[in-house]
Amino acid sequence: MTATPGATAPAMGNAPDDVRRITDDRSFFGQPGGLSTLFFTEMWERFSYYGIRPLLILFMTAAMSSGGFGFSRESAAAIVGIYASSVYLASLPGGWIADRWLGLRRSIFYGGVLIALGHLAIALSAVFARQAFFLGLILIVMGTGMLKPNISAIVGDLYPEGGARRDSGFSIFYMGINLGAFIAPFITGALGERVGWHWGFGAAGVGMLFGLIVFRTREGASLGPIGLSPSVGPEQQRRVRTITLVGLSLAAVVVALAMVGVVPVNPVKIAENMTIFIGVLAVSYFLYLFLWAGLDRDELKRTVVIVVLFVFSATFWSAYEQAPTSLNLFARDFTDRHIFGWEMPTLWLQSATPFFVIALSPVFAAVWLGLAKRGIDLSSPTKFAFALFSAGVSYLIMVAATNHVIAGGGNGVRVSMVWLLVTYLLQVVGELALSPVGLSTVTKLAPHRFVGQMMGVWFMSIALGNLVAGLIGGNVDPEKLAEMPALFQRTATSLFVASFALALLVVPIRRMMRSRAI
Ligand code: GLN
């Protein structure tokens, strides 16, 4: 994942020597020391994100008597979907604000502060109103939008020369992301599920505080002038500030009206409408590109390929991002989580995904390299089709697991953790074939003047996937046991259909991409 919609050129003009001192440094595994600052900041930010995301549905569906909200599974899953997809959507204005107003560094810092305040609001909702909980989620969405794309952009700025060193910089950074995601559920799960929900949420917030401290204390020395100044002059900065403040005020009014109950809130309806909205937005954007952006024949062909990858990327994420909802509910309600007679918290199974990412990333790197040595260079649509297929098989495993539950007598029956572990493993195999390839292909295919926007489009496909995942994710329910195999089967079938459709498209797509080596 090399998210860079907020990429700005390092402040080369003022202090080229300072910048070179930073980018030439090799004190962190042969990489610039600045990477370690970004690594640990992002690790803690992801710790807080993945620490609370799976806790949300368990908390919201828990009965009021056990400290939860007593929401229906459908509503709770839809809220998780809206939350996760909003995080990705927020990275569009987040990148823009960094580019045109605050600069990368200040955006990261303010983003971190907003996230920490969000966690504080969630923690305080235990004693104050329920509204504080949702206010907290909104603050986290805004803060992550400011932090996540821009921290990746600074990683890119550490390697002005690009090439293999930059690639390995991003691989190390991706490890930081997954290390945070791996550790978090152990802590927030143990505290949230066993001690009290708000202890879990609080621990995630403490993680973000660590991240902020790391960033604040080390950024000056390790990043020098990199990412300090925005890429535009004061006039335009003022304009962006005004637009941002007006946008924020409007959003605040809508949120306030929803919180006092003037605007009715139905999470499933909102998620459905957001799905349509993003779909319409994407279609309109592509239409604009095709009809009015003055693309030449070659660019038009490559943009068609991006449309295709957009659709299949959204399909993949709609399956993968069910981890915190449907698969998490399956872990809670139908999985035997005992080891040596002790039952582990539900959330601990969430660590499987980042664990597999960390374990398999080097394997994938070696496989691509090995294939390349034999002259086999798989195209990105081939890798996408493979990823969709692997995710499809992962859901077949879930069909088998649910059939096992039913065969065992239904409600109250718990099956082995191995089902979920294999499911997550296959999804990670898909992720590693699709995620890094997707982003780099989009950057390479996009007509030059639209690269930033196309990255936004890539984020939109992930946002769409998260929403659909949220809409599907609440249907794992002991009350609807008989429907569960069909539920997972539908996801599996969609993935297989997508995989085969894409496989058929590989040859024409390769032809369309031929204009440039992809
Ligand atoms: N797990 C990665 C992250 O949190 C990527 C997730 C994604 O691209 N959907 O950054």
Q: Which of 1, 85, 183, 432, when mutated, tests ligand 1's pocket best, judged by the most ligand atoms within 8 Å of its CB?
A: 1
Indicate whether 365 and 475 sit together in one domain: yes
Residue at 446 is within a domain: yes
pLDDT tens profile 427-440: 999 999 998 888 78
Q: Looking at the structure, tell me whether residues 462 and 336 fall in a common domain.
A: yes
Residue 339 sits in a domain whose CATH number is 1.20.1250.20
Q: Of 454, 463, 444, 451, which is closest to residue 145 (Cα–Cα)?
A: 463
* Residue 50 CA to ligand 1 centre (angstroms): 10
Q: What is the pLDDT of residue 15?
A: 60
Q: Do residue 321 and residue 435 come from a single domain?
A: yes
CA–CA dist 370, 217 (Å, integer): 42
Residue 374 domain-assigned? yes
Are 280 and 174 found together in one domain? no
Residue 363: pLDDT over 60: yes
Residues 225 and 270 in one domain: no
- In a shared domain, residues 492 and 391: yes
Give percent of the chain with pLDDT exceeding 90. 72
How many structural domains compose the chain?
2
Residue 381 in contact with residue 288, Cβ under 8 Å?
A: no
pLDDT above 90 for 163? no
pLDDT at 515: 56
Residue 140 counted as domain residue? yes
Evaluate whether residue 12 is within a structural domain: no
pLDDT at 7 over 60: no
Asked whether residue 1 is assigned to any structural domain, the reply reads no
Flag whether 247 is in a domain. no
Please indicate, yes or no, whether residues 139 and 287 belong to a single structural domain of this protein: no
154 found inside a domain: yes
User: Do 288 and 430 fall within a single domain?
Assistant: yes
| pLDDT, tens digit (0-9, with 9 covering 90-100), for 241-278 | 999 999 999 999 999 998 888 888 899 999 999 999 99
pLDDT average, residue stretch 15-26 = 86
Q: Are residues 223 and 359 in the same domain?
A: no
Are residues 145 and 210 located together in one domain of the fold?
yes
Pocket of ligand 1, candidates 42, 144, 177, 178: which has the most ligand atoms within 8 Å of its Cβ, to mutate? 177
Residues contacting residue 204 through CB under 8 Å, at least 6 positions apart: 47, 48, 49, 51, 52, 55, 119, 184, 188
pLDDT band of residue 8 (cuts 50, 70, 90) is: very low
Does the Cβ of 146 fall within 6 Å of ligand 1? no
**Is the domain of 276 the same as that of 214?**
no
Query: pTM of this prediction?
Result: 0.92
263 CA from centroid of ligand 1 (Å): 32
Residue 409 has what pLDDT? Answer: 86
Quick one: 81 and 173 in the same domain?
Answer: yes
pLDDT of 439: 79
The answer to the question of residue 9 being in a domain is no
Find the domain containing 134 and state its range.
23-231
d(CA 306, CA 442) in angstroms, rounded, equals: 6
Task: Report the atom number in ligand 1 closest to the C-alpha of 462.
Answer: 9
Sorting pLDDT into bands at 50, 70 and 90, what band is 2? very low
DSSP state of 375: T
What average pLDDT does this structure show over 294-298?
88
Q: Domain boundary at 231, 251, 274, which? A: 231
Using the predicted structure, report yes or no on whether residue 368 has a pLDDT greater than 90: no
Judge whether 313 and 438 are in contact, CB under 8 Å.
yes
- Amino acid 130: pLDDT: 84
Look over the chain and give the mean of its residue pLDDT values, rounded to a whole number.
91
For residues 72-91, average pLDDT: 96
